[in-house]
Amino acid sequence: MSFENLKDIEKEVQQCKSCPLYATRNNIVFSDGSPNAKIMLIGEAPGADEDKQGKPFVGRAGKLLNEFLKLAGINRNEDLYIANTIKCRPPENRKPAKEEKAACERFLQAQINTVKPKIIVLCGATAMESFLDKKLKISKVRGEFFENIKGYEGIKFIPILHPSYLLRQHSTETGSPRDLTLKDLIKIKKTALI
C-alpha cells in the first residue's frame, strides 16, 4: 500500500469532471479510516453531511454505523478504510446513476488496488451491485462471503445491510435486521483476524 498513491488518486478525483456531479458538489468525499486496514467498507454515495465535511459516513447513517462498529469491536479509525461507490453527492440523495458509477469506478478500483484489503464490506445494495451479480437480493445474501470476484481474486466480499435502512428498523430482537447486522460485523472482525 502506498499513501502517495492514494494522495495522487484523491488529487485526480478533485479535478474530475467525468460526470455532472462535480458541478453541484461542495466537497469530494474520498475516504476515511486507515489505508493500512484489512477491512474496506464501501457505501453508496455521499449525503448532505458528507458533502459538507468531505468525509464518508458522518451523518445520521454514519453515526449508527459507528455504534454498530463499536459493538462489534471494530475500530473505525484503525481497522477500516471507508469509501463510496461514487465520490460526489447526487442531488437530493438519489441513488447514483449507472453513468455516474461507471465514471467513478476507476477511482474505487484504484483505492482497492492500493489499500489491498483482505475483506471488502459491501454496505447496502448499491455497493453490492457494483461487484456481485445484480440479481442477488441483499436481504438473502447479507453476511455471506463471496470470493473469486473477477479482477479482485484473493479478496473476500461480504454484503451487509445499509445503516440508512437500519435507521428505520428499531427492533434488536434475534433475527431482526439490526441483530443480523451486528452478527455480520462480528463475523467480519473475526475473519479479518485470521
Query: What value does the CA radius of gyration of the chain take, rounded to a whole number of Å?
Result: 16
Residue 57 near ligand URA by CB under 6 A: yes
Residue 56 near ligand URA by CB under 6 A: yes
Cell of 61: 447513517
Ramachandran region, residue 76 (left: φ > 0; alpha: ψ -120 to 50; beta: rest) = alpha
At 149, phi and psi to the nearest 5?
Answer: -75, 130
Residue 47 near ligand URA by CB under 6 A: yes
Give which of 43, 76, 74, 5 is closest to 166, Cα–Cα.
43
Residue 130 near ligand URA by CB under 6 A: no
| Residue reference for cell 453541484 | 24
Contact stretch for ligand URA (CB under 6 A) within 8-16, 58-66, 111-119, 133-141: 58-66
The angle at the Cα of 41, spanning 35 to 47, to the nearest 5 degrees, equals 105
Residue 90 near ligand URA by CB under 6 A: no
Contact stretch for ligand URA (CB under 6 A) within 6-14, 40-48, 101-109, 149-157: 40-48
Amino acid at 12: E
Structural contact between residues 159 and 128, judged by C-beta atoms closer than 8 angstroms: yes
Segment 7 to 36, residues that bind ligand URA, using CB under 6 A? none
- Residue 20 CB, shortest distance to ligand URA, in Å, is 19
Residue 68 near ligand URA by CB under 6 A: no
Residue 61 near ligand URA by CB under 6 A: yes
Catalog residues that contact ligand URA under the rule CB under 6 A: 43-47, 50, 56-57, 59, 61-62, 84
